Amino acid sequence: MNVETLPAWSAVPAAILLVLGGLCTLIGSLGLLRLEQFFQRMHAPSMGTTLGTGCVLAASVLVSSALANRPIVHEILITVFIVITAPMTAILLMRAAAKRSGARHE
């Protein structure tokens, strides 16, 4: 059984989730490219990549569950990991940038 014989209840939501995830990630990375200051650029990728990862992993759960005829949820691991670690990286980078730009003295 492969992707060509997926039933509709998993193929259509998976397609919608994949398109949404791709768009979110692309918008986030375009924000990283186009925004002007570092503190503005900080926003875009952390939101876009987290949302895009969630969408793509939900699509992956749908497709692999439909392929194996039983619920497979180990992709949730990556989602939980990204959701936990993305804000930590963002906070550390933000503090480093604030210190380097002299905006805040601790």
Contact footprint for another protein (CB under 8 A): 1-6, 8, 11-12, 14-16, 18-19, 21-23, 25-26, 28-30, 32-33, 38, 41-42, 45, 49, 52-53, 56-57, 59-60, 63-64, 67, 74-75, 77-78, 81-82, 85, 88-89, 92-93, 95-97, 99-100
Kindly state the smallest distance separating residue 70's Cβ from another protein, in Å.
Answer: 14
Side-chain-side CA neighbours of residue 87 (13 Å): 3
Q: For residue 96, which of 86, 106, 82 has the smallest C-alpha distance?
A: 106
Nearer to another protein, 4 or 71 (CB): 4
State the Cα–Cα distance between residues 31 and 39, nearest whole angstrom.
Answer: 12
